């Protein structure tokens, strides 16, 4: 009996210990974000660095985003058509495809792909910098690695994500149009006309972009933090990279719900 109580107490303690650890990590990550952003605007670490990071984070994610966007749009066109034609309202296909993409799939899928493509690369890059003592070397030169390494990457993610999400949705809408109009015979005027009648510039497009701004910041934040906090061994870096993708994806999905709730509530 006593043993059982002991065991229960042990597991409660383990739980408490684990939550304290989590909480501590969260606090460290928060301080980390604040101190990197405190270094100021996007150009504070040199404009060249920012351009370089936008290139490796944003431009190099472009191909995967565009291909994925086109396919997602085509699938939406196909599925939407089958569902809508049951109600005889194929004309609403454009509305359905565009609203789905602009409000949800664009920002969310882009953020998930971004976490896999750019986030993991960021973590691995920074983890390796740590393992090869580049970060220590920078500190010993009297250069703050937060300012030189982290800040430009954070800003690059913040800037790239909305652009990527926008292009994803755009390509997706054209993908839906391609399937709907050219393959399934939805009236072209109805597709675009109904879309234009129901899509609101502020409510749908801008709010979608706000979502992806938040996702951009959060995903890059998680990625650079995981890299910076990783144990500088091959095992530690591989673990940190996995963590980045898992944590960032979950964070995006969770935040998406919160943001959607706030945005719908404010209408």
Cα separations (Å) of 211 from 26, 55, 134, 152, 245?
22, 22, 34, 21, 19
Write down the least CB distance from residue 4 to other proteins, Å: 28
Cα angle, residue 142 at apex, residues 136 and 146 outer, rounded to 5° = 65
Q: Which of 11, 63, 136, 234 binds other proteins (CB under 8 A)?
A: 136
> Any idea which residue has 């990527």 for tokens?
164
Write down the least CB distance from residue 199 to other proteins, Å: 4
Region of 107 please: left (phi>0), alpha (psi -120 to 50) or beta: alpha
HSE at residue 142, side-chain half, CA atoms within 13 A, is 0
**Only segment of 16-24, 109-117, 198-206, 238-246 that touches other proteins (CB under 8 A):** 198-206
User: Between residue 221 and residue 260, which ones bind other proteins under the rule CB under 8 A?
Assistant: none
Number of residues that bind other proteins (CB under 8 A): 42
Binding mask 112-131 for other proteins (x = CB under 8 A): -----------------x--
**Only segment of 2-10, 51-59, 73-81, 219-227 that touches other proteins (CB under 8 A):** 51-59
Q: By CB under 8 A, is residue 210 in contact with other proteins?
A: no
> Any idea which residue has 């650890």 for tokens?
21
Q: Distance between CA atoms of 69 and 72, rounded to whole angstroms?
A: 5
Coil, helix or strand at residue 146: helix
Nearer to other proteins, 149 or 251 (CB): 149
Q: Which of 3, 86, 201, 235 binds other proteins (CB under 8 A)?
A: 201
Sorted by sequence, the CB contacts under 8 Å of residue 35 that are 6+ apart come out as: 146
Query: Where on the chain is the footprint of other proteins (CB under 8 A)?
Result: 48, 51-52, 54-55, 58-59, 62, 98, 102, 129, 132-134, 136-137, 139-144, 148, 159-160, 162-163, 166-167, 169-170, 173, 192, 195-197, 199-201, 203-205
């Amino acid at each position: 009996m006593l043993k059982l109580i002991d065991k229960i107490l042990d597991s409660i303690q383990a739980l408490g210990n684990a939550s304290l650890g989590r909480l501590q990590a969260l606090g460290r990550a928060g301080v980390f974000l604040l101190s990197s952003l405190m270094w100021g605007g996007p150009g504070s670490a040199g404009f060249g660095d920012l351009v370089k990071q936008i290139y490796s984070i944003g431009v190099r994610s472009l191909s995967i985003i565009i291909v994925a966007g086109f396919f997602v749009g085509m699938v939406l066109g196909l599925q939407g058509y089958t569902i809508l034609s049951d109600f005889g309202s194929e004309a609403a296909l454009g509305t359905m495809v565009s609203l789905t993409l602009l409000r949800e799939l664009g920002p969310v899928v882009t953020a998930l792909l971004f976490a896999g493509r750019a986030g993991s690369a960021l973590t691995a890059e920074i983890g390796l910098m740590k393992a090869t003592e580049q970060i220590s070397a920078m500190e010993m030169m009297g250069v703050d690695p937060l300012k030189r390494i982290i800040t430009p990457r954070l800003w690059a993610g913040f800037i790239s994500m909305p652009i990527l999400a926008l292009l994803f949705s755009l390509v997706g809408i054209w993908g839906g149009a391609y399937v709907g109009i050219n393959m399934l015979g939805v009236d072209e005027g109805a597709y675009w006309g109904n879309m234009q009648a129901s899509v609101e510039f502020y409510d749908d497009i801008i709010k979608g972009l706000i979502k992806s701004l938040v996702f951009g910041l959060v995903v890059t934040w998680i990625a650079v933090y995981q890299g910076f906090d990783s144990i500088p061994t091959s095992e530690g870096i591989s673990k940190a990279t996995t963590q980045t993708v898992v944590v960032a994806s979950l964070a995006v999905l969770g935040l998406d719900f919160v943001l959607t709730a706030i945005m719908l509530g404010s209408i």
